[in-house]
């Protein structure tokens, strides 16, 4: 959410942000309703003041004709006030929805484009593996080595269901342990965060009301989160921090759930796109400074890059174009790791910053060194998402005999160097 004063003073910027992000938003409608809101607020406050004066008069006027006249005037005032308050309540509901729909302004360095196909590569790392044999995809590799069961996964969970088995489970836990050690050494506070989250945190982070179709919802109105960012941001909702405590850096782990409603027909097989997965998320709150946000954005991206490098996976970093940004994102990088069977990079990490878009919605403030309360800035980045990254790890490390070499940094956690068939 942006400040209404900022929106009024930067009408053309908001229009341009909506155009660039391909978001259907009418700034003139919002400003028209805001004018009505301000007028009604003045009228309501005036009527309330008149009602208070009349109440004081009644209290000091002896019983009689004059007092009865004042009481009659109070009844008329009360009726007028009730009508105006009802009008204001309805108007505020519409105003609030439109305020939640205002897109954040992309950074000037974000390239303009319509979809992820127009994201721009800014750097790459590592050598793509070359094989003197025909490499298998991760589905065949895992099936041959009894690492996964998609058929029974679908039987139990439905479409995109899966069971990880044997060394795939050990590999998964090895990745989690390595991620926990790696990112906590970077100064991040580890947290196990809930997946079942109330609407307020989804509204605050910008996933609602626009993306409700992609969320699972229970009968009590809570939602299953698709990222630890949502509960972690809700953790400090309606709180005031001290500037000396910033930046706050969290490493949040949780099961995650996504309906993938907008991805019908995409990646219908394998582990690239599933409904239930597990994720470590870097979440950062910092002072209200664009420069600080930019520096921390580069830092958390560098953390994720270093993590992928230690796994030995070739990757590239792309800056997302305007049409591939969410409602609240100012700028976003994707890290895409190489998938040999597809002969292309696939997104495994995303890093974004939001300025005060989320914290204003969630009412997360800090008291600066001068004692002034300000909305913090927020950032987040994927530290590790499993099982998706298994596709790159397994395919890049496969050997001609059908076995898979375990990345060196994971061997201490796996207790083995090679994944082979279970005898």
Tokens representing residue 251 in the block: 């490493």
E strand spans, 34-164: 120-125, 148-149, 163-164
Alpha-carbon distance of 205 to 276, in angstroms, equals: 20
Distance, C-alpha 111 to centroid of its chain: 21
Alpha-carbon distance of 141 to 134, in angstroms, equals: 12
Which helix (H) or strand (E) covers residue 49, if one does?
helix 27-60
Contacts 24+ apart (CB under 8 A), 211-217: 213/259, 213/261, 213/262, 214/258, 214/259, 214/260, 214/261, 214/262, 215/257, 215/258, 215/259, 216/257, 216/259
Tokens representing residue 70 in the block: 């004042």
User: What was the pLDDT predicted at 178?
Assistant: 98
User: What was the pLDDT predicted at 264?
Assistant: 59
Residue 354: strand, helix, or coil: strand
Nearest 5°: the CA angle 153, 159, 165 is 20
Q: Give the percent of the chain with pLDDT over 90.
A: 81
Establish whether 258 is a catalytic residue.
yes
3-state SS track over 191-243: EECCCEECHHHHHHHCCCCCCHHHCEECCCCCEECCCCHHHHHHHCCCCEEEH
Q: Per-residue pLDDT for 57 more than 90?
A: no
Alpha-carbon distance of 40 to 119, in angstroms, equals: 45
Listed residue (333, 342, 335) closest to 391, CA to CA: 342
User: What was the pLDDT predicted at 114?
Assistant: 95
Catalytic residue among 201, 225, 254, 258: 258
User: Domains in the chain, ordered, with CATH?
Assistant: 4-100 (1.10.287.40), 116-419 (3.30.930.10)
Tokens 């420069």 label which residue? 291
User: What was the pLDDT predicted at 205?
Assistant: 95
Alpha-carbon distance of 347 to 345, in angstroms, equals: 7
268-280, pLDDT tens digit by residue? 789 999 999 999 9
User: What was the pLDDT predicted at 50?
Assistant: 82
Residue 178: strand, helix, or coil: helix
Establish whether 127 is a catalytic residue.
no
63-109, pLDDT tens digit by residue? 666 777 777 777 888 888 888 889 999 999 999 999 999 999 999 99
Catalytic residue among 37, 198, 259, 273: 273
Establish whether 347 is a catalytic residue.
yes
Alpha-carbon distance of 268 to 289, in angstroms, equals: 42
Residues facing 283 on adjacent strands: 250, 380
Catalytic residue among 160, 346, 360, 388: 388
Tokens representing residue 61 in the block: 């006027």
Q: Per-residue pLDDT for 262 more than 60?
A: no
Tokens representing residue 331 in the block: 């700028």
pLDDT, average across residues 192-215:
92
User: What was the pLDDT predicted at 49?
Assistant: 84
Q: Is the pTM higher than 0.75?
A: yes
Helix residue ranges, H only, 61-131? 65-100
The dihedral formed by the CA atoms of 213, 219, 221 and 223, expressed in degrees to the nearest 10: -50
Tokens representing residue 149 in the block: 């069961």
Establish whether 123 is a catalytic residue.
no
Tokens representing residue 299 in the block: 């830092």
Alpha-carbon distance of 256 to 267, in angstroms, equals: 18
User: What was the pLDDT predicted at 423?
Assistant: 61
User: What was the pLDDT predicted at 48?
Assistant: 85
pLDDT, average across residues 385-389:
97
Listed residue (153, 74, 175) closest to 407, CA to CA: 175
Catalytic residue among 281, 305, 347, 395: 347
Instruction: Please state whether beta strands 248-257 and 276-286 pair in parallel, antiparallel, or not at all (unpaired).
Output: antiparallel
pLDDT, average across residues 182-208:
96
Alpha-carbon distance of 63 to 391, in angstroms, equals: 86
Catalytic residue among 225, 350, 352, 378: 350
DSSP-derived secondary structure for 280-324: EEEEEEE-S-HHHHHHHHHHHHHHHHHHHHHTT--EEEEEPPGGG
306-340, pLDDT tens digit by residue? 999 999 999 999 999 999 999 999 999 999 999 99
Res. 58 pLDDT band, cuts 50 70 90: low
Q: Give the percent of the chain with pLDDT over 70.
A: 97
User: What was the pLDDT predicted at 73?
Assistant: 75
Listed residue (2, 237, 232, 205) closest to 104, CA to CA: 2
Establish whether 8 is a catalytic residue.
no
Tokens 């929106």 label which residue? 7
User: What was the pLDDT predicted at 152?
Assistant: 95
User: What was the pLDDT predicted at 46?
Assistant: 87
């Amino acid at each position: 959410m942006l400040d209404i004063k900022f929106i009024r003073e930067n009408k053309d910027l908001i229009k341009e942000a909506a155009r660039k992000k391909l978001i259907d938003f009418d700034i003139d409608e919002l400003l028209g309703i805001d004018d009505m809101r301000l007028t009604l607020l003045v009228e309501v406050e005036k009527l309330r003041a008149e009602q208070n004066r009349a109440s004081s008069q009644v209290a000091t006027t002896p019983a009689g004709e004059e007092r009865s006249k004042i009481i009659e005037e109070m009844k008329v005032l009360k009726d007028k006030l009730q009508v105006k308050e009802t009008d204001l309540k309805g108007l505020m509901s519409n105003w609030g929805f439109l305020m939640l729909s205002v897109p954040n302004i992309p950074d000037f360095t974000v390239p303009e484009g319509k979809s992820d196909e127009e994201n721009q590569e800014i750097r790459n790392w590592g050598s793509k593996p070359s094989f003197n044999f025909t490499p298998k995809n991760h589905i065949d590799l895992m099936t041959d080595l009894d690492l996964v069961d998609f058929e029974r996964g679908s039987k139990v969970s439905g479409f995109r269901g899966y069971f990880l088995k044997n060394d795939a489970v050990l590999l998964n836990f090895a990745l989690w342990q390595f991620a926990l050690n790696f990112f906590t050494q970077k100064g991040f506070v580890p947290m196990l965060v809930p997946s079942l989250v109330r609407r307020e945190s989804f509204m605050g982070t910008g996933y609602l009301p626009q993306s409700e179709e992609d969320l699972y919802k229970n009968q009590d109105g809570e939602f299953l989160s698709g990222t630890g960012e949502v509960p972690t941001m809700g953790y400090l909702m309606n709180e005031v921090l001290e500037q000396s405590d910033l930046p706050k850096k969290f490493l949040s782990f949780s099961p995650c759930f996504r309906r993938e409603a907008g991805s019908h027909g995409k990646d219908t097989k394998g582990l690239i796109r599933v409904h239930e997965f597990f994720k470590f998320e870097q979440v950062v709150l910092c002072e209200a400074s664009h420069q600080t946000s930019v520096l921390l954005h580069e830092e958390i991206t560098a953390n994720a890059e270093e993590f992928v490098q230690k796994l030995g996976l070739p990757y590239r970093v792309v800056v997302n174009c305007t049409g591939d940004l969410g409602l609240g994102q100012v700028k976003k990088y994707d890290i895409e790791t190489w998938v040999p069977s597809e002969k292309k990079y696939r997104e495994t990490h995303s890093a974004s910053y939001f300025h005060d878009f989320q914290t204003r919605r969630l009412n997360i403030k800090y008291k600066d060194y001068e004692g002034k309360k300000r909305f913090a800035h927020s950032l987040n980045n994927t530290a590790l998402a499993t099982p998706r990254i298994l596709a790159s790890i397994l395919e890049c490390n496969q050997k001609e005999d059908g076995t898979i070499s375990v990345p060196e940094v994971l061997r201490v956690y796996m207790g083995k160097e090679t994944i082979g068939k279970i005898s």
